[in-house]
Amino acid sequence: QAILADHVRDHGHRPLTPDMEAFGKYRAEHDRAMRWAGANRRMIAARVREALRCDGSPLLDVTHNMVEPAGENLWLHRKGASPTNRGPVTIPGSRGDHSYLVLPLDASASMNTVAHGAGRKWARSDCKGRLSGRYKVAELKRTKLGSHVLCEDRELLYEEAPEAYKPANSVIEALVEAGLVRVVARFRPVLTVKRAGGSR
């Protein structure tokens, strides 16, 4: 967010070209953010292993927001989309829906990219108004699948409610029908931990 905010402040929504100094600055900040995100994921995994008192090694580490070279003078910006040229891909559902592990097939028609997840149905700002009359906070801490939700932020509990997202199986069915993926496994959430970032 900070990288985008700085870019918009300095350049508006005008594009950058590789010969611009600002392009090099943007790439350096982007790459630094990618390294930080990778380190953050590794730390979370280590803490989960520690809490479960088990060993483990990384099987998959795929990002879904990135810019990368895609040929001479071409750049591919994936926003909420996963690359398919790095092995299996997880496609998460909401905290109240299944997630999937898929094996990418020929995804050249989609620029070696598939959906990162089910996607939002409602804007975050609409969720509390739509759901506060239907659910008490305590009810949002258990899902219809029987999983538990750990979250101390009341606003975030509503913003991330399962109803705010599209059904994951509809996204999976579309990807399978398009010949982009094969489903390897389906996962049921057991525990979801949510924490707001930024100033909240």
Tokens 């996607």 -> residue: 119
93 in the same domain as 191: yes
Burial class (CB in 10 A: 0-12, 13-18, 19+), 137: exposed
- Convert the chain into a string of H (helix), E (strand) and C (coil): CHHHHHHHHHHCCCCCCCCCHHHHHHHHHHHHHHHHHHHHHHHHHHHHHHHHCCCCCCCCCCCCEEEEECCCCCEEEEECEEECECECEEECCCCCCCEEEEEECCCHHHCCEEECCCCECCCHHHHHHHHCCCCCHHHHHECCCCCEEECCCHHHHHHCCHHHECCHHHHHHHHHHCCCEEEEEEECCCEEECCCCCCC
- Measured CA to CA, the distance from residue 22 to residue 15 in angstroms comes to 10
Same domain for 123 and 158, yes or no, is: yes
Q: Convert the pLDDT of each residue in 119-163 to its tens digit.
A: 899 999 999 999 999 999 999 999 999 999 999 999 999 999 999
Distance, in Å, from the CA atom of 6 to the CA atom of 3, rounded to the nearest integer, reads 5
Same domain, 43 and 97: no
23 and 94 part of one domain: no
Q: What digits encode the pLDDT tens for the residues 68-118?
A: 988 888 889 998 899 998 889 999 999 999 999 999 998 788 999 999 888
Model confidence pLDDT, tens digit, residues 32-41 = 999 999 999 9
Kindly report the pTM of this predicted structure. 0.84
Residues 21 and 103 in one domain: no
Structural domain including 88 reads 83-200
In angstroms, rounded to a whole number, what is the distance separating the alpha carbons of residues 84 and 118?
17
pLDDT of amino acid 91: 93
Note whether residue 172 is domain-resident.
yes
72 assigned to some structural domain: no
Q: Are residues 122 and 168 in the same domain?
A: yes
Q: Are residues 182 and 106 in the same domain?
A: yes
Number of domains the chain contains:
2
Task: Label residue 176 exposed, middle or buried (CB < 10 Å: 0-12, 13-18, 19+).
Answer: middle
Same-domain pairing of 89 and 179: yes
Q: Are 34 and 125 in a shared domain?
A: no
Active-site option among 30, 64, 116, 148: 116
Q: Are 190 and 149 in contact (CB under 8 A)?
A: no
Do 51 and 95 fall within a single domain? no
Pair 54, 101 in one domain: no
- Based on the fold, state whether residues 42 and 124 are members of the same structural domain: no
Nearest in space to 115 (alpha carbons), one of 64, 178, 59, 61: 64
Q: Quick one: tokens of 112? A: 């070696």
116 is catalytic: yes
